[in-house]
Structure 1
Amino acid sequence: MFELTGFQRDLLYVIAGSERPSGQEIKEKIGKDVGEVNHGRLYPNLDALVEEGLVDKGQQDRRTNYYTISESGRQAIRKRREWENQYVSLDE
């Protein structure tokens, strides 16, 4: 996960918390938190996550793709959380 940008990590978390979202659904969900995300930023980053094997891409219909978290993506999130937890403890 260290090789990913913060935006790519955010996309990964949104996909992990959704059930087969389309690119447009991902754009809407992440846009609520980070502001407007344009097409030219979203899809190259989704493609990078697919290329890294963290996300699987499927075809919903002729014009719409969907994205799902892969097992490698789940494992990467688990490892990232373990790493974060060794430095950040909110149980005070």
Structure 2
Amino acid sequence: MTFSDLQEACRVFGLEERASLEEIKARHKELVKRYHPDTGSQEEPEMIRRVNAAYRLLIDYVSGYRFSFAEEEFYEQNPDEQLRRQFMTDPLYGG
């Protein structure tokens, strides 16, 4: 897999730079419903193959990803917690 392969898979799925596993799965389900030949879709017959290939590539990438449990990463992924940590002792904000 190359980075351009990954970018193409994201383009097929219409994903931004960040996506959760749940978002990838939901988007796959949506695209399969849209392009599956059994639904009578005549838009682009090759599209279902592209969708499934992109899904396999994305799942392979995500399953091989090494997650960071560092504090900085936690607060980047949870901005509300970052704000709470930053202001929870401030008397102005009820701390």
Same fold (TM over 0.5): no
Give 1 or 2: higher helix fraction.
Answer: 2
TM value normalised by structure 2 = 0.32
Give 1 or 2: higher strand fraction.
Answer: 1
- Greater RCO, CA 8 A, separation 6+: 1
* Higher Rg: 2
TM value normalised by structure 1 = 0.33
